[in-house]
Amino acid sequence: MTAGAPIPRWALITGASGGIGAELAALAAADGYHLVLVARSADLLATLARTLTRLHSVEVLCVPLDLARREAANDLIARLAARAIVPDLLINNAGVGLYGLHQDTPLEAELALIDLNIVTLTRLTKRLVPEFLARGSGRILNVASTGSFQAGPYRAVYYASKAYVLSYSEALAEELAGSGVTVTALCPGPTQTGFHARSGMRHPLRILGGLVPIARPAAVARAGYQGLLAGKRLVIPGRVNWLLVESVRFLPRRFATAIFAFTSRPR
Ligand SMILES: NC(=O)c1ccc[n+]([C@@H]2O[C@H](COP(=O)([O-])OP(=O)(O)OC[C@H]3O[C@@H](n4cnc5c(N)ncnc54)[C@H](OP(=O)(O)O)[C@@H]3O)[C@@H](O)[C@H]2O)c1
């Protein structure tokens, strides 16, 4: 690096091969962040990397990795260390869902979901927070869900995993207050990505009986990215989503769960 040259800023984004993660990568690149992009689909990551490098002249390191593997976070951190990269932004976006009666869904898929949505997110955060604290700055965006606020029959393990992400993020944000390190939980409602079909939903767009508008991933990513840069603790994109989340707080929990079950039942 030449004297006086700006210090390169890096964003580490998991689940960047499509959906909300790819949109977050585009926003960070447009802001001049170099990118570490992680997902399993090496070809999709490479295509995105070429596009963002061409558009924004940023450096992009693609790391094809299955983040549901228990060693994945350590492998990823080792890859960063080998390149002397300490990210300024950590975006824990990778996540999977699983739809169906709990008695029928495969345990292995549920454990992999927990490893991805909870364990790897926690490991990456745990490894990077001390480096952020040593530097006195760092921003973390954890992608949770509007499902973080209530139980989700027919998506029991997924909703429970997102409740963890929200609770963990809010607690860390409080512990880190005043340190220069911020933690933002992004809680999207239904968003037009391949997520629902991959979760095994047969009618992915009829969420809550079709009552909830389906957001575009670009809009969700923009809300999350702006919240991240502003150091907000909680971002719920979309007024209807915000209203639903707020109203659930005033309902008896059992009643809210029953309504959710009624509107989400497999048909
Ligand atoms: N879509 C919604 O309605 C919605 C609502 C609320 C919250 N969310 C949350 O938003 C986040 C992004 O979801 P999305 O809607 O953008 O879904 P998506 O289009 O399915 O994207 C998921 C991303 O995670 C990656 N991923 C999945 N399993 C992985 C694994 N084992 N290892 C590494 N990467 C993995 C996928 O890449 P590869 O397949 O290439 O690995 C992909 O890049 C998730 O955390 C999800 O829970 C989504």
Measured in Å, residue 243 CA sits from the centre of ligand 1 at: 24
Model confidence over 189-246: pLDDT tens digits? 999 999 999 999 876 555 555 677 899 999 999 999 999 999 999 999 999 999 999 9
Q: What is the mean pLDDT of residues 176-183?
A: 98
Q: What is the pLDDT of residue 246?
A: 94
Q: What is the pLDDT of residue 266?
A: 78
Q: Under a CB-based contact definition with an 8 Å cutoff, are residues 24 and 49 in contact?
A: no
Residues labelled as active-site residues: 158
Closest ligand 1 atom to Cα of 22: 43
Q: pLDDT at residue 5 above 70?
A: no
State which fold the 10-264 domain adopts.
Rossmann fold (3.40.50)
pTM of the model: 0.96
CA dist 188 and 152 (Å) reads: 15
Q: What is the pLDDT of residue 7?
A: 75
Q: pLDDT at residue 263 above 70?
A: yes
Model confidence over 106-148: pLDDT tens digits? 999 999 999 999 999 999 999 999 999 999 999 999 999 999 9
Model confidence over 25-60: pLDDT tens digits? 999 999 999 999 999 999 999 999 999 999 999 999
The DSSP-derived string for 97-165 is: ---S-TTTS-HHHHHHHHIIIIIIHHHHHHHHHHHHHHHT-EEEEEE--GGGGS--TTSHHHHHHHHHH
Measured in Å, residue 23 CA sits from the centre of ligand 1 at: 12
Ligand 1 binding residues, C-beta < 6 A = 15-21, 39-41, 44, 66-68, 93-96, 116, 143, 145, 188, 190-191, 193-195, 198, 217
Q: What is the pLDDT of residue 78?
A: 97
Model confidence over 53-112: pLDDT tens digits? 999 999 999 999 999 999 999 999 999 999 999 999 999 999 999 999 999 999 999 999
Q: What is the pLDDT of residue 265?
A: 85
Q: Kind of pairing, strands 89-92 and 60-64?
A: unpaired
Q: Under a CB-based contact definition with an 8 Å cutoff, are residues 113 and 161 in contact?
A: yes
Mutate to test the pocket of ligand 1, among 12, 20, 111 (most ligand atoms within 8 A of CB): 20
Q: pLDDT at residue 2 above 80?
A: no
Domain ranges of the chain: 10-264
Higher pLDDT, 249 or 208: 249
What's the pLDDT band for 8 if we cut at 50, 70, 90? confident
- 184 three-state secondary structure: strand
Model confidence over 145-168: pLDDT tens digits? 999 999 999 999 999 999 999 999
Measured in Å, residue 94 CA sits from the centre of ligand 1 at: 5
Cα(first)–Cα(last) distance of the chain, in Å?
60
- 214 three-state secondary structure: coil
Q: For residue 227, which of 164, 121, 139, 138 has the smallest C-alpha distance?
A: 139
Q: What is the pLDDT of residue 229?
A: 98
Higher pLDDT, 6 or 68: 68
The phi-psi region of residue 34 (left if phi > 0; otherwise alpha if psi is between -120 and 50; otherwise beta) is beta
CA dist 161 and 69 (Å) reads: 16
CA dist 218 and 211 (Å) reads: 21
